[in-house]
Structure 1
């Protein structure tokens, strides 16, 4: 949200140097104009690096699962990469590709952090998976992976538009594909595997966030493109709708990742032995 507020308020270059802020590492500058957004964003980012370092250290010394230790290190590497991309955004005067990568890596880090929270939770450790094999094609797990992919593409298209790297229409057109794929995934999950709570809850959440995101996207389009294209400076409705749109988009992506994880755990793909003459057309939903 802090990063989105920086972009929405055109405050990305309000602090012109990096990693210092007006020549200082910790001194608080005069928080006027866009400086308050950019400097606050940097302070939150710095705090996030410290917290992630603590999580990685704790996981390395306490956690027995080696793959989870590697995931914590991946989180640390991602947040460091995020900081470097943020610095490059400032030093190279906000090139659209770098700024978009900065946004994409941020949401990747958020998803990794959510995964760590799930994997270290008591429910994940103590729960006995309620397994129900998936015989349909494409499988629900495949649909969740496809959902994550189209969301990432949408994230890149939206980032390029916000950072003036391309027009708005690819982002808007691709939103229709995102809506179709995520709705298909949610309907499959809720119609076939609704008895599995770990699958049902994130599927409902994903569908709810999708509807909210489409409404916020429409509001952001109106305030930014239709009504605000000739504005001298960003107006409050545009800032609020855009920041909310980005925030809900991050929640939607993370929720879809959670759904994919739960489907992987509770709904494994069934590979039935094929007997000549008994093949059946896979069921689809």
Structure 2
């Protein structure tokens, strides 16, 4: 299945949205409608790229809006950017999420002792290509890092695009350690320190910051898929999450989450009208060029 994207609004503004269409031209949710598996037998997963490598704009799947478009995160009325913390420039991998997964905020993980962060599971794609925002790629899983973000479990899955020339040599987290020495240490360092310029403390990690292997990572992904299935079948409380979808919930079951093609188009039309009255907030280039340095304790 192939997907195309449709951008609305102005990039780096409050009104920017990126919507998805499937091969049939039907609007779909990247959270709910894109399958988790690209090839279940081979454990190949889909990943939605939110942030291309080396960029700073904190883009994310909007879990609370209809059809869950990608938008830029907002804090205090301003779009958010990740700071350049020496020696890193922006995100150091292609960053995204695996669809049809959910880290349940009502579930305390037995390994981390913390509840989920209420988002799809995050992914760091470490291949050679810089992906495009909104791209849907097929990946194989290599390992996983358990970050603790303000008391919540925030898993970071390490993957590589199956089409990457290095993919044949990278099959587990041990291969990354061997063939890309220092990259995993840099990954932990990045996640530990990236919020410090915003006045927040360093993030912590379960397992003493050690990466777990491929099998552990796949089991974790499958667990978050079970949480998502409970969410989409109304067995879990969605809270503020928007579960509207056009392909998962059958219309004949009168599921409140089902969204017809006409309803999806109406959502897009409404978004377009709102954008006409939305004030653009453009980024100053100096924000992206600024570099933070601080000595680790």
TM-score range (shorter-chain normalised) is 0.3 to 0.5
Taking structure 2 as the reference length, the TM-score comes to: 0.31
When the two structures are superposed, what TM-score results if normalisation uses the length of structure 1?
0.32
More strand by share: 2
Query: Which structure dedicates a bigger proportion of its chain to helix?
Result: 1
